[in-house]
Amino acid sequence: MDLCGKVAVITGGKRIGRVVAQELAAHRMNLVLSYRGSKDEAEQTVADVEDAGRRATIVVGDVSKPADCLAIIAHAVATFGRVDVLVNMASIYRSKPLQDVSVDYWSTDLDVNLRSAFLCSHAAIPHMRSAGGGRIVNFADWLVRSGRPRYTGFTPYYVAKAGVVALTESLALEVAGDNILVNAIAPGPIVPPPDMSQEEINEVARATPVGHWGGEAEIAKAVVLLCQTDFITGETIRVDGGRHLA
């Protein structure tokens, strides 16, 4: 798909999402950025996109809520008249011992990490269909793509991201005839969490076959690939520096 002049909606446009937005703008796309609590970051991303000569807008919303997902897509259509790409990046990553996982904790993980991808996709697909096609990019995890929960304390997160892989495959089959391609990215060590020590950062780098963290740009490159492709669908691509091989 030629991205020039097309419209992309990105949920969770903080940190890595900002670089993804910059890269899509560099390919001459216009952007809609949703946020829940990071308005300043979203506005900074708008400025980045506008500096690249493209248009961008922000919309507040909680992607775990159906009405908000509908409103995000409606805002995109009202602003630009179309939705061509949906990048479901909204996610939470947290750890808790299994015995301390409450029903609310479980539900929040699945709502934000999985349910939101379904809700936003379900809202966007009719507009993509009427425009003759589109692209949906979801976000899973390298461990899930590799089929092994290597670390304890992440059961709700792991289950949710496994659901993202299944959702990606099922949606891809459902909408392939409408020229809507659905894929997912499974990131590995891309950007260290803010609370990670330097020794922990170095340890992860040593455990990664390429010997270093990936950086946000590697995710942005993968997003562009999955937006431009006309033949890849139902795939979950690991971007992990070979971490799954170690």
Q: Is the pTM of this model over 0.85?
A: yes
The DSSP output letter for 27 is T
Structure tokens at 176: 């392939």
Q: How far is CA 215 from CA 20, 121, 142, 211, in A?
A: 11, 27, 15, 13
Confidence band for 194, pLDDT divided at 50, 70 and 90: confident
In the prediction, which pLDDT does 13 show? 66
In the prediction, which pLDDT does 229 show? 98
In order of their start, the domains of the chain are: 7-245 (3.40.50.720)
Burial 54-74 (b: 16+ CB within 10 A, else e): bebbbbebbbbeeebbbbbbe
Choice between 12 and 184, residue whose per-residue pLDDT is larger: 184
Q: What is the pLDDT of residues 82-109, one digit of tens each?
A: 999 999 999 999 999 999 999 999 999 9
**Which residues are CB-neighbours of 222 under 8 A, at least 6 positions away?**
185, 237, 239
- Catalytic residue numbers read 157
Confidence band for 29, pLDDT divided at 50, 70 and 90: very high
CA atoms within 13 A on the CB side of 127: 26
CB 30 within 8 A of CB 4: no
